[in-house]
Amino acid sequence: MLSFGRSVIFFQRAFFPRAGLFRARSASLVVLAIAAGALAAAAPAAETVPAAEEVSAGSPAAADARGQLAEIPRPVIDDAMWQDPFLPLPTYLPKFSKTLLPMWLEALARPEAETRRVAAGTFAIAAARSMPGLEPATEPLRAVLTGDDDPVVRRAAASALVAIDARGAAADLAAAASADGLLMAEIVEPALARWGDQSAREVWLSRLADPRCEPALRTLAIESLAAAGVTQAAEPLRAHVLDDTQPLAERVAAAQACGRLTSAGLTDAAADLAARRLRPPHAGPLLAVLLLSRHDDASGDRSPHLPRQQLRAVCGHGCSRPAS
């Protein structure tokens, strides 16, 4: 009987007479795989643990099977390649050089407007990345905000002051918003609303009552009043929502703001809006839903009289109240 190695060589010469080294090695692997399968099939079957369902639940064999199953380790991660070897991820701690702040302050004082703008914008980026020790930059940034000739540089300084949370510069920021128009106001006034600045509230209320005010500025004032929680603005906002001569975008913003500030007494206004025939047709129900966003009035049992089908079309089934 030929040995196993001679059988492999005989198999190669018989079936691959002109094959090179690569094909011969491939054939050897094939033969080895076939032989391994044959040996595994010829080996006697190992004894298996009797299954729990084949024996009674209280028998010693069942208890022994359950014990063996409990001893089988269950790794948290199926693939061992993620744990062997274990490679812990490094923890990154940001570290800022002490030379950054003096360098940025020097750039902020440069005569080139673009350099000053980039320097002011860098302070905002550093604040967003939680760089400590930016308080010394507050006064130079306030000087740029109030004295720079370039409006782009002034807006960059305002953004930096807002990012640094320089609440002491609220008066200068409010003055800049009034002087530089909409682009500056969009940067400054949301921060003033978050800070609860009292001086800006009168400006926002006056915009709401001024018919000559720019629509974007009036919408910004409406949103700022809601963010600041100015409850005395609820009635002017409700009147603005009910005024059909106002732009729909402003009415939607006013309805959202009024709904945030008021939680009672708006059912009649909502029913009136839902019954109106506005363009587009869903405008009335939409305004009604926004007014009642935080409504918990005891007279809320009247809300089922709103046009339920239109309300569902606007905001889904979950926004309309179930009929009592």
Among 115-129, 237-251, 261-275, the range scoring the smallest mean pLDDT is: 261-275
Task: Say how far apart CA 98 and CA 100 lie, in whole Å.
Answer: 6
Q: How far, in Å, are 8, 14, 26, 174 from residue 23 at the CA level?
A: 13, 13, 5, 83
Read off the pLDDT of each residue in 139-144 and give the average, rounded to a whole number: 96
By three-state DSSP, how is residue 311 classified? helix
Residue 4 token pair: 């196993």
Q: For 47-64, what is each residue's pLDDT tens digit?
A: 444 443 444 556 776 677
pLDDT tens sequence across 227-254: 998 888 888 988 888 888 888 888 899 8
At 1 the pLDDT is 47
Asked whether residue 221 carries a pLDDT value surpassing 80, the answer given is yes
Q: Which long-range contacts (CB under 8 A, 24 or more apart) does 287-292 make?
A: 287/241, 287/251, 287/252, 287/255, 289/314, 289/315, 289/319, 290/252, 290/255, 290/256, 290/258, 290/259, 291/238, 291/241, 291/255, 291/258, 291/259, 291/266, 292/259, 292/266, 292/267
* Confidence (pLDDT) at 317: 36
What gap in Å lies between CA 310 and CA 302, rounded to an integer?
Answer: 16
Closest by CA to 103, choosing from 126, 82, 85, is 126
> Is pLDDT at 185 greater than 80 in this prediction?
yes
Q: Which residue has the higher pLDDT, 88 or 8?
A: 88
Query: What is residue 121's predicted lDDT score, i.e. its pLDDT?
Result: 95
Indicate the residue type of 199.
S
Average pLDDT of the chain to the nearest whole number: 76
Say whether pLDDT at 16 is over 70. no
Counting residues of the chain whose pLDDT is more than 70, the rounded percentage is 68
- 183: pLDDT confidence band, cut at 50, 70 and 90? very high
Banded model confidence at residue 323, pLDDT cuts 50, 70, 90? very low
**What letter would DSSP give residue 134?**
-
Task: Set out the domains of the chain in order of their start, with CATH numbers.
Answer: 98-197 (1.25.10.10)
* 202 Ramachandran zone, left/alpha/beta (phi>0; psi -120 to 50): alpha
Residue 13 has a pLDDT of 55
Instruction: Work out the pLDDT band at 174, boundaries 50, 70, 90.
Output: very high
